Structure formats: structure tokens, C-alpha cells
Amino acid sequence: MIAPADIKKTVKLNILRQDTPDTHPYWQQFEVPCTPSSNVTSLLRSISANPVTAEGAQVAPPAYEASCLEEVCGSCTMLINGKVRQACSTLVRKIQSGHPDEPITIEPLTKFPVIRDLVVDRSRMFENLKRIKAWIPIDSSYNLGPGPKITPEEQQTMYPLSRCMTCGSCLEACPQFTRDNNFLGAQIFSIARYYNMHPNGKTEKDARMEVLMGEGGITDCGNAQNCVKVCPKEIPLTESIGIIGRAATVYSIKKFFSK
């Protein structure tokens, strides 16, 4: 007897492709086998093994990113049926529920420059992490002994913030974040909150606040709240935005009276 998970069918994928950063995008359709346990990454892998379109044309394999395959690295973020998702954790049976015969559309993120096909340049996110000093400053030239203790209550607040995988989902959904502006976005506000809470990380708090209050900072947030709806790690982004906003007010007042 064949187990339900082993029953194969075929599914159609419409993939938006782009050969180089400077060329125009175009659509190609593929038809590949899948099972109820298939995810989008497995479909893309099948196409790579046999890159033939639904019309029978032999083409170059679509370029895409994948690493951890367990929703940890964030590299496989893309638009699937018009919604920003992780390809590794997006099961075909869920997105085709009620519409089993409709093609699945796959597109690259729109808020980042396309390198090729589904691969985009997210370096802006990592450069912004550098701007806010998203690290713990520790001198490792000698033994510092045990670090400062963090209470269980602080750990409970900080852990969800630490789950950010720099996937770009929150920025893709944000109406304020565009390719041609300097808006930092919810990811940076939440990460800054995390490091400002850390006993060692808070030594760079003032430097972070200067960045967060500058061009593209917290005052540019329109509070659309799209970010928290699409975050695959369920990070309390809007809570972080509110906390950073209040921290910016306190910092600006303190700075004013310290002159």
C-alpha cells in the first residue's frame, strides 16, 4: 500500500526570471512532480536537476538561495503567490489548499536589487547592522571572567528579539522601505533594542541612538505594522518600534539638557 506522503502529482510553477541585474525580467513556467510533503525549495531543486520548461525548452536552471532548510538562515526569502515567505518552510499542500490546479508563482523580493533570477542583494541590511554596532564589545585579549548576569525576565524579553535571521521579510512588506531611500526598517529597530538591553551591549547605546534618530531612522516609521504580520519568527517588531521611539525621545531630551 502506498503511503499518502508518497503519492506524487505534478505542479506548475511560474517563475519570474532575470538573467543579469541590468536585463528585463521575464516569466517561465515549469511543471515538476511533488508530494504532499514537498516544499518550494524542493520544487526549485527538481527544476535545477532537469531545467526544462512546461513547453519543453531546455533552459538554464533558475538561480535561488538555500542553506539551512529549516527557517534559520533567511536566505531563501522570496515572494510565493504574492506573499513574502521562506521557500524552505512553505509547503505546497498549504499554499495550494482549495486551488490544487493553479500554478504557484515565484518572484524575487522587490525591495532589493536583483542579482539573478530569485537571488537578490541584501547587503544593505548587513551594512545597517554595522551602522548600529550590532555586536557585543568585549576585549578578548585577556580573561575577563564571567559576564554580567541577565535575569530570567530579561532573557524572556530578549530571546524573541535574538531570533532575527536578517531575511528581509519585514522590509519587503514595509511601505516606508524602498530601494532609493535610507530607511532602516523594523529589523534594525528591533536589533538595536536587543543590544541596548544587553549589559555589555548597552555601552554603545548612545552611538546607536544617534543612528536611529538620524536620516532614515525611527521618525520615518509610518507604523503600518505590516512588518510584524509577515515576520516568520514572530518577533514583536511593533513593540520594539514603540520602545525605540520612546528611547529616542528620552535620549533627545537628555542630550538637549546636557549641552
Please give the model's pTM, rounded to 2 decimal places: 0.90
18-22, 199-203, 225-229: the lowest-pLDDT one:
199-203
Which residues contact residue 12 at a Cβ distance below 8 angstroms, ignoring those fewer than 6 apart? Answer: 29, 30, 31, 54, 103, 104
pLDDT tens column, 76-106: 999 999 999 999 999 998 898 767 788 999 9
Same fold, 4-120 and 123-257: no
Residue 45, C-beta contacts closer than 8 angstroms, at least 6 positions apart: 66
Helix (H, G, I), strand (E, B), or coil: what is residue 106?
strand
In angstroms, the CA 87 to CA 64 distance is 10
The CATH code that applies to domain 4-120 is 3.10.20.30
Question: Residue 2's pLDDT band (boundaries 50, 70, 90)?
Answer: very low
Domain boundaries, the chain: 4-120, 123-257
Residues 65/74, Cβ–Cβ less than 8 Å: no
Find the mean pLDDT for residues 220-248: 97
Structure confidence at residue 68 (pLDDT): 94
The CATH code for residues 123-257 is 1.10.1060.10
The predicted structure's pLDDT at residue 73: 94
